[in-house]
Structure 1
């Protein structure tokens, strides 16, 4: 028997009115000055508001036939709550003329009880404000990359009611939220800890009925009942649940992402007053010196940075998220970093289902004014309560790059000095605010690792550092690509966990012509710089892209360079697996709008060639070399070590071939071997060739890996030889060893 819960969707056509200033809920009747739009949406999706930023008034009238003609008093058994699941950025709702109070924060659902004012005919007015950030080095809005980023159209403003609006009908006790966490798990029993927030109309005894139903595996439905006493008003209850025969949640490359549908019902006198249903996975995640462990098992993170699914995040669907996650899985990725924002709810559900972990950034990106700290504390707690039930969410990071950045294209000396100072000397954002937010989230969660901020380089005696970002070969502030490896040889702790590196490239021609001219002579380069994130001068520093004679040649040129950059980093980080590297996350996965960017998949989800190259470089069983030099002269000796690494948690019998090929396609040396590759092993040297080229030209080292459970891999490295005194060539086979 139940009187509740019941939900009335208030999505659909709303009226919109742009205004200069708000009028405390008093606005003219609906007439031709009001616009109409389907909600949820961003107001810039309306054809007349494509470049609007500022203040917007929303109005929706609706009928509720079963509502009492006279609003119920406080003793009535039925309650009504108006719930907003997401509004960018400030919102002040009025219900039938009653001011419900101001709310700040784009990702946090918020609700107000409207029982006292409910009627058969109802009117909702919402004042919504989402201004553009003017002071880029002292931002005010906790919107992360949506307000300031070099990978998004700078004229895009996310303002609006972007997630559903609902009227919720309950009994006398409202279940506002529930957070469930894995305390411990064995083969026969799992210990789960919960916190639930209730809002009771009066003090009363209730029954909490938990139901755990398998979603994607065969198993018994388990029900647990608990009796509790609630105080009047808001009241939090915490406790422990014991679940029999637990099935653990794993990433797709380690097992099955087993999920339970968890329902918590609160019963008053045998009647369900309210209920919540959510999906949950039993798992633990830990970082030990930046080496990750899932359910106590060590594993190697391979992933990427995930921007908003779309610059218009309200348009995100489950289907689009599943497409992205399939592409990630096919690229052998087991983690995505939700870069500088909190994503659409569909992403977290899809990641749970697809077995992909998420590094979750709090939406702070670059620098903010000090006044935001109290609100940042509140929203940090809200982030944990919103996302804490998702097994895919592995860890929290409180800030992305809390350093001085206004325009990443600005590489003047004074800008570099300000950036260096904020990175290595002092940043209030990092050293004060982020430290406080880290403590707040550690208290709120208690299970997941919490990273103060990303891109913290270790400084002996001052800080241990966190994850690092490297743009050698792109930003001049870093330097040439060749300068990176000597640095990490000297300071290996710099690569414990790398969460950004890369270079820009153009999308494939078929996608390029959707936002630029097909004739390279007619392309508006300035428009690409201003609206589509193209860093033209920076790209020109590394190669002469302006010499391209066609769009196709430009696409090939830029993607080749992107492949070179990504491969340089990935090969060297895989060589250092667990010594000390625990994870690799290049920048970035896809474009949120049509772009010339660091992505390996464009806005229309067409993979670039750099996607295929990364897929090979992320192969679970990977055969590779690390070239000390890519260019030598005739007669100069070059050692060619051959390494192999296995990320699979099974032994594999493999066969390898290493072939050295001259400029005339003649095989100069060839070695073949078969052996058992240990599970989850670190990189080990299995062969070593030496090249002393007798003639100039381009030589190739071709590495081939085969196995019964291994996708055949052909990995080719080019060695350019310039004219000089002639020498000789030979291949030397070395004994293999496990490091």
Structure 2
């Protein structure tokens, strides 16, 4: 929720006179901080000795302070005297992870959770000269007792993940702590009542042409009494009709606990929000205002879009505003330190996502900064939003209840975003991950089952989205990297939704040189236990999977190693993406590659490196995700000189427009010899996939065979193209 008030800096000098409310001031700037891990340290009264300046908002690591555990923040500000009916609220948009808030020596609240906005009523504590203290604790979890299988913090990939500093399982896996006051802090003044939250959901009971907005207004009030709630929805990114209605309401005296008002705003013939490539992502700016007989009490603004999302039974696909759409996505983590990701950086990343021909991202295992959702709303990029639960957690009922509370806060606070079309639950919960038995002696088949179920039930309270109760290991197609071979990806899919597939690849040499120092850039052997790989492993590289499992040749130098790993990643992701697109709705409905970008100076599964330089895998996915795809299915496993080999040619159209009277053309060459060529004319229906031709050729020798296949529209313009190279006589698993 964004206040429709200019943000003003609270200076350390008195303002000339009392301000007109409602008004919001930013408390951004340099705060003072002090290590607070010593329980005897009282940061609210301690002298100024030993304190240092730290930027707010920022994760303390990204601001230059490598710290684990508790850190005390202090900040002073001055206000003029305010009328007796003024309400004062401190609003924290995100503090990682525990926050104990004290104002002028009075302890006010303790909050748990890194991604939520929370409001602190400071009406009775506010003075002319104010001293704010916030003890922030982002604990280091004991690896010998609870980390990583029994984690006690709901931080998802920010606390444990393969792509974090140190990796998922090493003793260094909690390095570079994400703690801090990482999102904006504001002081809000209002008169008599305060609006804390606007929660909006579309109502489709009267059809797509006659929607309504169901609005829940959370407020606090000094006194009970009659008031008027005005709700206004105005176009935010287009010219069009605005909708407004006033509702007589009765406010309750809240004594600090929020109450709710529920109203419906009819929006007949409102413009719908459409994903990129399917229409315009129309957005509405929604303002809620409370007034009484004396005038305006408070106002708040949010933004939303109207779109209907449905999951059809029997793998028939997902509907967006009544139209079926195949989901081509990628997993996304912008950074382990959320304060570093600005709207501009999200927009840069999402342009790359869209240029890769993907139409969705899975915000993997965490809730991101609010800028991500705002930019996705504007760009029409669909989101699968996970809860921040990754692998194993405390198995107690108390932790499950806490996770449910935080899940509900995620749904309430981020649910106005039309880009979010899926709520996703626990990622690879232990009870669904039998591979954990080999790693953890205290694993058991029911570990965290109740946690998963309770969180999923909380997600299901929002009926405006698809809910996936958990992300199952069965939906993670890691053939070619953790098990099996690339060719296994050509087999029938066993699930309708595929949320992970991929392989690692090194970044370009110029990027790699910023990650690995010269003295360890070329370990002596490819053995995973070679000490030369220690630094590489810290930066997430997996030598065992690379050299022993995927059998990628290292080559004679770094440049060859880079080329070999990138070629393997490109082949794997293209093979998988094309295979599962050929299986559209039989059974595949949604496809999410793992993963899009490397989140820090890392060597992992990203097809874009941390400096945002694409790898070969990016361009392979760009081709495999083409809206109109001429797909090549390699039927014959091993090509041999003098032996016939077969490929199948497919035409896949994920758009809502038919390719009328298109020309499908192909040519198979070896060296300069044409082994086969042909063409056919047909109309490729909208939202369709079909096998077009089976081509059998006999290679003459061991030189590469190149298969080119493309589609031209009725005017001769090339609208899709593909290529496959095969090496006869080379045994590939």
Aligned pairs for 1:215-230 within 5 A = 215-230=236-251
Three-state SS of the structure 1 residue aligned to 2:507 is: coil
Deviation (angstroms), 1:617: 0.4
Tell me the C-alpha RMSD between the 2 structures. Answer: 2.5
Aligned pairs for 1:211-290 within 5 A = 211-233=232-254, 234-269=258-293, 271-289=295-313
Three-state SS of the structure 1 residue aligned to 2:178 is: coil
1:672 aligns with 2:684: no
1: distance between equivalents of 2:344 and 2:441?
42
2: distance between equivalents of 1:697 and 1:545?
21
2: distance between equivalents of 1:217 and 1:249?
11
Three-state SS of the structure 2 residue aligned to 1:453 is: strand
Closer, same or farther: CA 497–20 of 1 in aligned 2, 3 Å: same
2: distance between equivalents of 1:368 and 1:612?
38
The answer for the alignment partner of 1:322 in structure 2 is 347
1:120 aligns with 2:125: no
2: distance between equivalents of 1:502 and 1:700?
24
Which of 353, 356, 361 is residue 378 of structure 2 equivalent to? Answer: 353
The answer for the alignment partner of 2:367 in structure 1 is 342
2: distance between equivalents of 1:316 and 1:715?
35
Which of 198, 206, 219 is residue 227 of structure 2 equivalent to? Answer: 206
Q: Which moved more, 1:280-289 or 1:90-99?
A: 280-289
CA offsets, 1:284-336, max 9 Å, x none?
A: 111123521111111100010011x2222111111001011111111111110
Deviation (angstroms), 1:687: 1.5
Three-state SS of the structure 2 residue aligned to 1:102 is: strand
The answer (yes or no) to whether the contact 1:500–1:587 under 8 Å persists in 2 is: yes
Deviation (angstroms), 1:554: 1.3
Deviation (angstroms), 1:54: 1.0
The answer (yes or no) to whether the contact 2:287–2:301 under 8 Å persists in 1 is: yes
| TM-score scaled by length of structure 1 | 0.88
Aligned pairs for 1:454-493 within 5 A = 454-455=471-472, 457=474, 468-475=475-482, 478-486=483-491, 488=492, 492=493
2: distance between equivalents of 1:421 and 1:616?
45
Which of 181, 187, 212 is residue 161 of structure 1 equivalent to? Answer: 181
The answer for the alignment partner of 2:457 in structure 1 is 439
2: distance between equivalents of 1:115 and 1:228?
24
2: distance between equivalents of 1:25 and 1:447?
47
Deviation (angstroms), 1:101: 2.1
1:194 aligns with 2:215: yes
Q: Which runs of 5+ in 1 are unaligned?
A: 407-412, 458-467, 725-739
Deviation (angstroms), 1:694: 4.0
Closer, same or farther: CA 522–529 of 1 in aligned 2, 3 Å: closer
1:622 aligns with 2:629: yes
The answer for the alignment partner of 1:53 in structure 2 is 68
2: distance between equivalents of 1:418 and 1:710?
55
Deviation (angstroms), 1:571: 1.3
Q: Which moved more, 1:183-192 or 1:668-677?
A: 183-192
CA offsets, 1:172-197, max 9 Å, x none?
A: 11111111111116465322212111
Which of 60, 80, 97 is residue 43 of structure 1 equivalent to? Answer: 60
2: distance between equivalents of 1:666 and 1:327?
38
The answer (yes or no) to whether the contact 1:42–1:159 under 8 Å persists in 2 is: yes
1:383 aligns with 2:410: yes
2: distance between equivalents of 1:646 and 1:520?
47
2: distance between equivalents of 1:703 and 1:689?
11
CA offsets, 1:209-237, max 9 Å, x none?
A: 11111122211332211111122213212
Which of 418, 427, 435 is residue 446 of structure 2 equivalent to? Answer: 427
Aligned pairs for 1:655-670 within 5 A = 655-662=663-670, 664-670=671-677
The answer (yes or no) to whether the contact 1:266–1:273 under 8 Å persists in 2 is: yes
Deviation (angstroms), 1:697: 3.0
Deviation (angstroms), 1:709: 10
Aligned pairs for 1:550-569 within 5 A = 550-569=557-576
Deviation (angstroms), 1:520: 7.9
The answer (yes or no) to whether the contact 1:504–1:598 under 8 Å persists in 2 is: yes
2: distance between equivalents of 1:37 and 1:723?
58
Closer, same or farther: CA 534–334 of 1 in aligned 2, 3 Å: same
The answer for the alignment partner of 1:633 in structure 2 is 640
The answer (yes or no) to whether the contact 2:635–2:648 under 8 Å persists in 1 is: no
Closer, same or farther: CA 317–415 of 1 in aligned 2, 3 Å: closer
2: distance between equivalents of 1:695 and 1:546?
24
Closer, same or farther: CA 285–678 of 1 in aligned 2, 3 Å: same
2: distance between equivalents of 1:530 and 1:641?
40
2: distance between equivalents of 1:473 and 1:285?
34
Deviation (angstroms), 1:479: 2.2
Deviation (angstroms), 1:621: 0.3
2: distance between equivalents of 1:614 and 1:24?
54
2: distance between equivalents of 1:405 and 1:224?
49
Closer, same or farther: CA 238–53 of 1 in aligned 2, 3 Å: same
CA offsets, 1:122-171, max 9 Å, x none?
A: 00111111112332111000000111111011311001100111111011
2: distance between equivalents of 1:350 and 1:712?
29
Which of 176, 185, 199 is residue 196 of structure 2 equivalent to? Answer: 176
Q: Which runs of 5+ in 2 are unaligned?
A: 6-18, 166-172, 524-530
The answer (yes or no) to whether the contact 1:105–1:142 under 8 Å persists in 2 is: yes
Aligned pairs for 1:42-121 within 5 A = 42-47=59-64, 49-50=65-66, 52-64=67-79, 66-68=80-82, 76-121=84-129
Deviation (angstroms), 1:556: 0.8
1:151 aligns with 2:173: no
Deviation (angstroms), 1:526: 2.8
The answer for the alignment partner of 1:497 in structure 2 is 497
Three-state SS of the structure 2 residue aligned to 1:45 is: coil
Three-state SS of the structure 2 residue aligned to 1:258 is: coil
1: distance between equivalents of 2:224 and 2:102?
29
Aligned pair count?
A: 685
Deviation (angstroms), 1:270: 5.3
CA offsets, 1:398-420, max 9 Å, x none?
A: 211113899xxxxxx98565699
Three-state SS of the structure 2 residue aligned to 1:138 is: coil
1:698 aligns with 2:711: no
2: distance between equivalents of 1:580 and 1:723?
32
2: distance between equivalents of 1:137 and 1:187?
46
The answer (yes or no) to whether the contact 1:137–1:405 under 8 Å persists in 2 is: no
2: distance between equivalents of 1:575 and 1:647?
11
The answer (yes or no) to whether the contact 1:520–1:551 under 8 Å persists in 2 is: no
1:582 aligns with 2:589: yes
Closer, same or farther: CA 667–26 of 1 in aligned 2, 3 Å: closer
Three-state SS of the structure 2 residue aligned to 1:254 is: coil
Closer, same or farther: CA 341–690 of 1 in aligned 2, 3 Å: same
The answer (yes or no) to whether the contact 1:520–1:550 under 8 Å persists in 2 is: no
1: distance between equivalents of 2:50 and 2:464?
52
1: distance between equivalents of 2:117 and 2:417?
16
